[in-house]
Structure 1
Amino acid sequence: MLIGYARVSTKEQETHLQLDALAAAGCDVIHQEKRSGKELSKRPVLNSILSGIGPGDTLVILKLDRMARSLKDLLTIIEMIKQSGADFRSLSESIDTSTPMGRMMTHVVGAFAQFERELISERTRMGIQAAVARGSKPGRPRGMSAEDEAEAVRLWHGGMVTNKSELARRYGVHISSIKRAISRAEATAQAELFEA
């Protein structure tokens, strides 16, 4: 049986392209998951497939990055599939573990995919460091001034306001700005308490 697996990282993203490709490849059943690929243990649909797959089955995906974010995870998944007596196929990379060439290509392509992700991460880190050296402050600008944040935190901790939404309306910001201000103040207080 050909078992298709489609994955996107967030609920806002869609799997249409993957579903169409898997259907065109002749998959008998197609599963989809809207979860990050960072942690294998937090992907219940994939784990369910892996626990139920067996001899004569082939797990089919559109691209390797839909299956795993690291070479280690990719090899772990492929080993689980192999131990169950099933095979693995990636449509974009033309990998099929039912052949010796396919097994070798899995390792090669997985290594290059991980290398590319690490390069992107390194470039991003270097870009942020360069921006900081030029005096930029990376990240989203705060919605409130330091004075407004301090006042909002005093109101909250003093019990004068018991609803964060009310505070957000008072300062004309989103509630997440109020939550971040309170969290920052609590973290600072904890650090000062720890240092004392």
Structure 2
Amino acid sequence: MSLVGYARVSTDLRDTAAQRRELKAAGCTEIHEEFASGTMRARPVLAKLVASPGRGDVLVVVRIYRLARSLSHLLEVIETLEAKGAHFRSLGDPIDTTSPQGKFTLQILGATAEFERALIRERTLAGLASAREKGRVGGNPGLRNRDPEAIAKVARARVRSYFHKLNKEAQQWLPAVRQFRPRLPWENVVRIINSRHPGATPWTVERLRRAAGRFVMDRLLDREVLDRAPPSQKDDRLLAIIAGIKSSAPEMTLKEIAQRLEAMREPTPLGRSKWATSSVAHLLERAKQAGLLFEEARHDQQ
């Protein structure tokens, strides 16, 4: 069993020294630090730790607010770790999923979260019923009356909200779209993005096309990214996946890439489940020749 520490502060003007000392004193053999707001969903360091923990490993934090944005987020992270055979421990809170007491505390938290959701639903339904009894109908009066100005206002608000969401997620998808479209099909670009960000919500072809189309409309992307890709070769898909894995973590060894492919249940070119490092090396070389890795390195240097 290995103790893996996670330290976070919300700004790089502060440091994680105090957290690192506590984590080290608790026996953590490795400590990962991240500078990000607790309200941010996209935290690459945390996502990587949760996506591929060692079996039996324990993710350790000083306090739970260093890890989670909310109770539901905390439960989601712990469930993901438990599904992979790993555990979670907070030094300043009574949560340690390696012990019966810690698991009991977790069950109480889960029940509390469900109770809060049930209360919110009940209050919402009661409020709507009370409004109907008093002759009031919920919703926007302008929309109910089909007022053009009200409809246009809501539409503009939805567009702004959608663009704001895309802009927050741009670090996930925009570099890959700029680099690989239209040279690679949308399916391959999606695989590259998902392999680079294993802890994030998976992208789909339709979702990525909509995002790119929106940025093209706002002239933040060249229109050519929407062009049809040339006919793909039989193993273009594998090249795209391996290029995505390697470019997201250049320090990964051939053996680690092989293990990642096996964890993804990605078959070898011969349809086998077990990957050899020689096969990974061959495909990496082909990816470089195809420009999938060379252009990534050049892009990062700019």
| TM-score grouping bracket, smaller chain normalisation | 0.5 to 0.7
Distance in 2, matches of 1:10 and 1:106, equals 29
Tell me, in whole angstroms, the C-alpha distance in 1 between the residues paired with 2:52 and 2:25: 23
CA drift of 1:39 comes to: 2.9
1:77 alignment counterpart: 77
Q: Which residue in the other structure is 1:64 paired with?
A: 64
Partner of 1:34: 35
- The offset of 1:104, in angstroms, is 2.6
* Identical columns (%): 45
Mapped to 1, the partners of 2:105 and 2:19 lie a distance apart of: 21
Which residue identity lines up with residue 10 of structure 1 in the other structure?
Answer: T
User: What is the Cα deviation at residue 71 of structure 1?
Assistant: 0.5
Find the aligned partners of 2:14 and 2:67 in 1 and give their Cα distance. 16
Specify whether residues 104 and 4 from structure 1 end up closer, same or farther in structure 2 by C-alpha distance, changes over 3 A only.
Answer: same
User: Aligned-pair distance for 1:109?
Assistant: 6.3
Distance in 2 between residues matched to 1:62 and 1:32, nearest whole Å: 12
Q: Distance in 2 between matches of 1:16 and 1:108?
A: 32
Higher normalized strand content (fraction of residues): 1
* Cα RMSD for the two superposed structures: 2.1
Which residue pairs with 1:4 in the alignment? 5
Deviations for 1:107-151, whole angstroms, at most 9, x for unmatched residues?
Answer: 556869xx9xxxxxxxxxxxxxxxxxxxxxxxxxxxxxxxxxxxx
- If asked which structure has higher relative contact order (CA below 8 Å, sep 6+), I would say 1
How do 1:98-177 and structure 2 match up within 5 A? Answer: 98-106=98-106, 108=108
Q: 1:148 aligns to what?
A: none
- List runs of 5+ in structure 2 lacking aligned partners: 117-302
- Give the superposition deviation at 1:10: 1.3
Alignment partners' CA distance in 1, 2:40 and 2:104: 24
In the TM superposition, what whole-angstrom CA distance separates every residue of 1:20-51 from its partner, at most 9, and x where no partner exists?
000000101000000012133x1000011111
Q: Number of aligned pairs?
A: 112
The amino acid of 1:96's aligned partner reads D
Provide the residue aligned with 1:47 in structure 2: 47
Separation in 1 of the partners of 2:44 and 2:11? 15
The corresponding residue for 1:118 is: none
User: How high is the TM-score relative to the length of structure 1?
Assistant: 0.53
TM-score between the two structures when normalised by the length of structure 2? 0.35
